[in-house]
Amino acid sequence: MEYVFVPGAWHGGWSWHPVAQRVARVGHRAVTLTMPGLSAGDDPRELRLADAVAYLVAEVERRDLTDVVLVGHSWGGIPIAGAARRLGRRLRGIVMVSAFVPRGGESMAEAMGPEVGEYVRATIEASSDHTISIDFAAFRESLMQDEPEDLQRLVYELLVPQPGGYMLDSLDVTDLAALDVPMAYLLAERDRALAVPGAELAARLGVEPVLIPGTHEAIITHADDVAKALQASLDA
């Protein structure tokens, strides 16, 4: 199988490296992607969600991947939902890891609820480069709580501002459950960052969540567990 890893908001392909390396060691191909606008030197101002979806599809096609398992973390579930149908027979399966599974017409900002959604929109509109960042206190308390502070700060320093279009745009159609491929939802036991309960998000795929140890950043802190659950989920 050929695993294509899509990171969450503020993260790059680096966040998937610990899991990807473990998957590669047992003989699978592993590709970690960084979405446009999330690398140093990128210009995020004009980027829209459609650009992230198009990039994901284009990378699969450019690399001529034909047995693809899309794996998304957090916000990464959204571009996966947009790309899945466009990949056609190349798609082997989908695994979401504490990821957002969008509904048609609902943006990431809207999924967070009216109050938070309005804050996200206002922050992006006020930003000179049309992005939104996360401060360390929010990151520490909601994405990586209870982990050592030196590790929290190390991961936080790797984050970059998220292009605003990625948070404000929505997909028209997202019925992933209708796709004829295996799917799984891995849910970190101590995740507090999801805008919607993990069981509800898993139900949108037509599956029950599989619990894994860790917080929202389990792909970094519990890579062994994530890699094992990832491979077992599609073998079941």
Task: Tell me how far apart the alpha carbons of residues 20 and 192 are, in angstroms, rounded to a whole number.
Answer: 24
- In the numeric block, which tokens belong to residue 114? 């009216």
74 flagged as catalytic:
yes
Residue 91 CB-half CA count within 13 A: 22
Considering 74, 98, 107, 170, which one is annotated as catalytic? 74
Task: Tell me how far apart the alpha carbons of residues 111 and 117 are, in angstroms, rounded to a whole number.
Answer: 7
Q: What is the DSSP string of 30-72?
A: EEE---TT-STT---TT-BHHHHHHHHHHHHHHTT--SEEEEE
Give start and end residues of each alpha helix (H) in 70-197: 77-87, 108-111, 114-126, 136-138, 149-157, 164-168
Query: In the sheet where 209-212 sits, what is the strand order?
Result: 29-32, 2-6, 68-73, 91-97, 183-188, 209-212
Question: For residue 196, how far is the Cα from the chain centroid?
Answer: 14
- The residue behind tokens 């062994």 is 224
Catalytic residue annotation? 74
